[in-house]
Structure 1
Amino acid sequence: MIKIYNRKTKSYEVENVAGGKYIEWSYGSPIGKSITELFVKKKLFTKIYGAHCDTRGSIKKIPAFIKDFDIDMRISKKRPEEFTSFNDFFVRELTEDARPIDKNPDILVSPGDGRLSAFENIDMDNVVQIKGLTYSLKELLLDEKVANEYNGGTCLILRLCPVDYHRYHFVDNGVCLESKKIEGHYYSVNPIALKNIPKLFCQNKREWSIFKSENFGDIIHVEVGATCVGTIIQTYKPLEPAKKGQEKGYFKFGGSTTVLFFKKGMVKIDKEIVEQTELGFETRVLMGETIGKRSE
């Protein structure tokens, strides 16, 4: 059972996990772990399932998914019957007014929908993955020079579940450099997996880029793939000006994670989010929602 903090109600909610029993078995039982290591984490498994989700035959999964996870289709640009595949539904675009964005340059907004954890004053050699498990930023990026610049900074981990809106966005005006791709495995990014796979983010397929923002300095954007996320699509154009709230890219089917790193002294995350992270709880947020402000 995974509990998520709801900022609006000031209470905790139990997350409705897609394939929850399967994930618990895959990462919590000896047999499940063995099968995960031999097959599930491999590219072929994800590639095969991902290809199926691109076919017209996968459309039949959409109505049940909407019903089971109470997906609000009123904010989708397309109606359920207009999607051409399950992946087309999964990466659905939202209406213009679905995710209001505070344009105040001092305000930091969430890059996407999901469950947020925030860590301040990070040690680049011991960035927290989940309580009790850490990883090195230079292992994540495979670039020690860049990693060294973020010691003492802030790390935001936004976990996207299969039920979430799966497009991610820029948190400020600025220019994003070319994305660097790192091949890896396809472990689930569910907390159950994070508790059982050391340095999971450093093992999974991922892409990262530096976003030169106008108000929060150079931000590292990391997109981490997961089981059944065979493709990370970057839709932004490198070196071209980007606006706050503009789409950066999207994940195809599966749970995924976006990680942001800020340099020391650039941002102050809302106290409520940091406190919940320290207690071991993720905070539910929506794209464009205020999550912090520029440091004074």
Structure 2
Amino acid sequence: MIKYYNRKTKNYEIENVAGEKYLNWIYSSPVGMSLLETIVKKKLFSSLYGSYCSSSLSRKKVNQFIKEFNINMDEYENNAEDFKSFNDFFIRKVKKTSRPMDMNKNSLVALGDGKILAYENIDLDKVIQVKGYTYSLRELINDNDAANKYENGICIVLRLCPTDYHRFHFIDSGICSETNKIKGHYYSVNPVALEKVPRLFCENKREWSIFHSDNFGDVLYVEVGATCVGSIIQTYSPNQRVERGSEKGYFKFGGSTVILFLEPNKASIDEDILNHSKEGIETAVLMGETIGKVIL
């Protein structure tokens, strides 16, 4: 059971988790953990399932998934019958009118839909993965020089569950560097898994880049793959100017995570998000929503 905070209703809600019984079994039972280590976390397993989700055979899953998780298709560019496969549906594009972007240059916005945790004044060697578990930013990106500038800065973790819009965007105008790719495993990024696998973000496949933003300094983007995520697709053009809200990329099928690191004294996070993060409770956000502000 995953409790999160809904900012709109100011209530706590329970997430409807896709494959919840499977996740609990895999990450809690001896047999499940054995399968996890020998099969499920391997690239081959995710690649095979990803291939199925990209085939026409998977198209029959679309309507069932929409109904089971009450996905409002009015928010998206295409109708359910337009998709040729489950992955085609999974990477659906949202209508711009459904995700109004806060264009105030002093506003820090959410890079995508999902549940977030945010921390200020971070220790690079003890970045919080989930309450009770930490990891090292230097190990996460395998680059000490790039990591060092984020000491005492901000960390924002956006978890995209399988029911979410799975494209991620730039939080400001600016120029983004080339993407660095790091091979790894394919553990789930669901909180159930994060509580069972120490340093999970440092174990999984991941990609990172530096976004030289106009208003928030150098922002480190880290995209983390997960079980059944066939690919992390970067759609931006490196070293070319982008505008706030422009698409950076998307994940194919599976829950995934994007982690942002901001330099110290560049921004502050909204109090409701910070307070809930301290309690280990995620906050639901939509792409373009204000989550903080620049420090002037």
Task: Give the TM-score category using the shorter length.
Answer: over 0.9
Cα shift at 1:205: 0.2
State the Cα deviation string for residues 135-185 of structure 1 (Å, max 9, x = none). 000000000111111100000000000000000000000000000000000
Q: Distance in 2 between matches of 1:234 and 1:148?
A: 25
Q: Distance in 1 between matches of 2:72 and 2:250?
A: 19
Cα shift at 1:10: 1.2
Alignment partner, residue 12 of structure 2: 12
User: TM-score by structure 1 length?
Assistant: 0.99
Q: Distance in 1 between matches of 2:280 and 2:168?
A: 24
* SS of residue paired to 1:12: strand
Alignment partner, residue 294 of structure 2: 294
- The number of aligned residues is 296
- Structure 2: which 5+ residue stretches go unaligned? none
Cα shift at 1:280: 1.3
* SS of residue paired to 2:98: coil
Q: What amino acid is the match of 2:96?
A: E
Q: Distance in 1 between matches of 2:49 and 2:217?
A: 39
1:254 aligns with 2:254: yes
Cα shift at 1:277: 0.4
1:127 aligns with 2:105: no
Q: Distance in 2 between matches of 1:31 and 1:85?
A: 32
Alignment partner, residue 181 of structure 2: 181
Q: Distance in 2 between matches of 1:292 and 1:148?
A: 23
Aligned CA RMSD, in angstroms, stands at: 0.5
Shift >6 Å, 4+ stretches: none
Q: Distance in 2 between matches of 1:261 and 1:115?
A: 16
Q: Distance in 2 between matches of 1:230 and 1:119?
A: 30
Alignment partner, residue 244 of structure 1: 244
Q: Distance in 2 between matches of 1:216 and 1:275?
A: 22
Alignment partner, residue 146 of structure 2: 146
More divergent stretch after superposition (27-36 vs 171-180): 27-36
Cα shift at 1:254: 0.2
Alignment partner, residue 58 of structure 1: 58
Q: Distance in 2 between matches of 1:148 and 1:243?
A: 27
Q: What amino acid is the match of 1:294?
A: V
Q: Distance in 1 between matches of 2:48 and 2:141?
A: 27
Q: Distance in 1 between matches of 2:205 and 2:123?
A: 23
- Structure 1: which 5+ residue stretches go unaligned? none
Cα shift at 1:98: 1.1
Q: Distance in 2 between matches of 1:87 and 1:72?
A: 17
